[in-house]
Homo-oligomer: A and B are copies of this chain.
Amino acid sequence: MAEVFLRKLRQGAFLSQQDEGILNALARPLRQVRAHRDIVREYSAERFLPLIVQGWACRYRVLENGKRQIISILVPGDLCEPFGALPQINDDPLSTITPVTFVPVKLDGLARAAQSSPAIAKALWWDLLVATRIERELIVSLGRRMAPERTGHLFCELYLRLETVGLVNDCGYEFPLTQSVLADALGLSTVHVNRSLQELRSSGLISLHNRRLTIHNFWRLQELCSFDPTYLHLAGASKQCAGTARLIENTGVIHVS
């Protein structure tokens, strides 16, 4: 099993050596997909769930009028479907944003792993619940947040998600989304995404060049977007905690709140 997945699951439960061994035994040969391809899934009893190891993907929906809405953004460590997924129920399509390498995980293998160890079950439930929290947060963003706020909120969320799998460095991360893909994720037009980005940039909060996003002042960005990381249920990431940790990291100044 991919190390990124274990890293993420450790946020949700304490996994013993044995637990990790069980999960590792589910590993399958890696598969590669090029960018901008759909990841096709079989709906059979022998179903495999894609577990992303490298690269970014998304779950999306295309409406009759041609508009597209991205429902979730998937990064390394993300399991694309719940571990108890029913074989006969189909899902919204997945598409790669960058080249992706993933592990196909056998559905029934996961279920058996969950039954064999309470810690694994707990970790998988945790993973599932966090995924639905992330989707709910998107509901809140789309329904009640202004464009720049919405944009910054996503940046904060991805920062923490990527941090747990070790993909954050120098206060930033690789951000492969095109402005038009970002628009589909945020329910905005490309033009307006562009203007929201300029607003964030000119406030000195972020920079975004060459597919790399840097957050210059996480605390201020979080403040601006009323980003409260508790919904990610990361070990010890309450609002203050993440805020001050970021402040220390990014400015070298220690504040006590």
List the interface of chain A (C-beta within 8 A of B). 61, 63-65, 67-69, 71, 82, 84-86, 89, 92, 115, 121-122, 125-126, 128-129, 132, 135-136, 138-140, 142-145, 186-187, 226, 233
Contact = CB atoms under 8 A, between A and B. Distances in A.
Nearest to A228: B64
B69 A144 contact: yes
A71 B140 CA distance: 7
B139 A86 contact: no
Q: Say how many copies of this protein the assembly contains.
A: 2
Contacts of A122: 86
8 contacts: A63-B140, A84-B125, A86-B126, A89-B126, A92-B136, A115-B115, A135-B136, A142-B187
A89 B129 contact: yes
B139 A138 contact: yes
Given A140-B71, A226-B63, A86 B125 contact: yes
A122 B128 CA distance: 17
Contacts of A71: 136, 139-140
A139 B69 contact: yes
Given A92-B136, A139-B139, 10 more contacts: A61-B136, A65-B226, A69-B140, A69-B143, A71-B140, A82-B129, A84-B128, A85-B125, A86-B122, A143-B186
Nearest to A130: B89
B67 A144 contact: yes
Q: Which of A84, A92, A128 has the most CB of B within 10 A?
A: A84
A187 B143 contact: yes
Contacts of A144: 63, 67-69, 187
Contact of A129 (B61, B85, B126, B129): B85
Contact of A233 (B85, B89, B132): B89
Nearest to A60: B140
Given A144-B67, A144-B69, A139 B135 contact: yes
